[in-house]
Amino acid sequence: MATVSFRLQSLILEGDGAAAFSHKTQVGRSVESVCVVRSSGVRQFSSAVGYSSKCSELQPFVSNRDVERGRRNGVLRIRAAAAVPAAPAPNPTVEQRQVRPSPAEAARTILDICTEGTLSTLTENDSWPTATAVRFALDADGNPIFRFPAAALHTRNVAVDNRASLHVQLEQPGRQKPQCTLRGRIQKVEDADLQKKLDAFWGRRFGAERVQDDSYFIMTVEQALQSQDMGEEEVWMSGADYSLAVADPLRDFAPKIVEDMNRKHWEDVRRFTNIYAGLKQAEVEEVSMTWVDRLGFDLHVLTKNRQMLEIRIPFMREVADERDARSSLTMMAQIAWERERSLNPPGVAFVGSFSVSS
């Protein structure tokens, strides 16, 4: 049995403007560290401790959960998850705090960012699934739009059997490769008015281009399969859940934010692993931010003993846009800097240790 220990580091306080650390405006958010050893059939047990926002009336709550899930060998995953405080309302459990976009939101984000994927259709003669790389756009509901010439393989295939799947993978810095597979039926678009609408969707991605022989095709999504990374557990969802989800508001800005944090603020990124994930600086060889979304950010860590960690750290509150995200990162960096130097703002509480066994 292997035991990995991480400290439940801090009760972070936030508020309005300069009075952020005033007792009158404090809102407490505890930080929960959860680690999962990524190997097949691992049992995860987590325990989180939180406190009310009034530091003079600390009211602890504990939330436990027992989960089994498959993971890749050799990689440890940590989630440093903020738990929403209770005061003056009853304390919610950690599970009520969303720390990562839902699978449906992640799927919409992946499809919105990517412009190329692998389309698989059934061959017209023997019904074998055959895949090729394709470009695609999206309509307002997230349904993929394609353009094929009359003689194309997929044009011939869908004329006989229009069932198809589209696989899309998002390349992120580090090891993570979020991916999504859509299953549905592809129809050739004959209506002139609809063709004009699809022209607009296509033009937003690829500019004005038109080949006389090309026709528009659209896939009506019936199911979607989403995975956060290669080798991780996949999540099925209905076409309706996929269509109703909204892509992450930071999707167009995340690469630049990540680049800036790794290039200009690398000391803050290292500090995040210490203060929010409980890793001592002496234990860390390399660390980099790999992605950011409205709920938090991901870190990829290589330890001195050559162990690779993937850490999820949530924002203290949901962010709305790029400016909001950069502001939250700056605030978290400042709090981490002060904590590292024992310059804690008044009323900030730090709690004990936390361990997970596998």
pLDDT digits (tens, 9 = 90+) for 74-118: 555 555 544 333 334 444 444 467 899 999 999 999 999 999 999
Average pLDDT over residues 279-286: 87
pLDDT above 90: percentage of residues in the chain:
56
Residue-level pLDDT at 78: 59
CATH superfamily for domain 3-99+251-357: PNP-oxidase-like (3.20.180.10)
Q: Are strands 308-314 and 75-83 parallel, antiparallel or unpaired?
A: parallel
- How would residue 174 be classed by pLDDT, with cut points 50, 70 and 90? low
Whether 47 contacts 62, CB under 8 Å: yes
Angle, to 10 degrees, between the axis of helix 266-275 and the axis of helix 254-264?
90
Average pLDDT over residues 194-201: 94
Residue-level pLDDT at 285: 92
Quick check: 44 pLDDT over 70?
A: no
Residue spans per domain, the chain: 3-99+251-357, 104-244
Quick check: 352 pLDDT over 80?
A: no
Quick check: 22 pLDDT over 90?
A: no
Residue-level pLDDT at 271: 94
The model's pTM: 0.73
Residue-level pLDDT at 48: 35
The residues, any chain, with a CB within 8 Å of residue 196's CB and separated by 6 or more, are: none
Residue-level pLDDT at 79: 56
Q: How far apart are CA 315 and CA 292, in angstroms?
A: 10
CATH superfamily for domain 104-244: Electron Transport, Fmn-binding Protein; Chain A (2.30.110.10)
- Single out the residue of 191, 194, 169 nearest to residue 179, CA to CA: 169
Q: Model confidence over 59-75: pLDDT tens digits?
A: 332 233 333 333 444 55
- How would residue 230 be classed by pLDDT, with cut points 50, 70 and 90? confident
Average pLDDT over residues 228-235: 83
Q: How far apart are CA 70 and CA 204, in angstroms?
A: 39
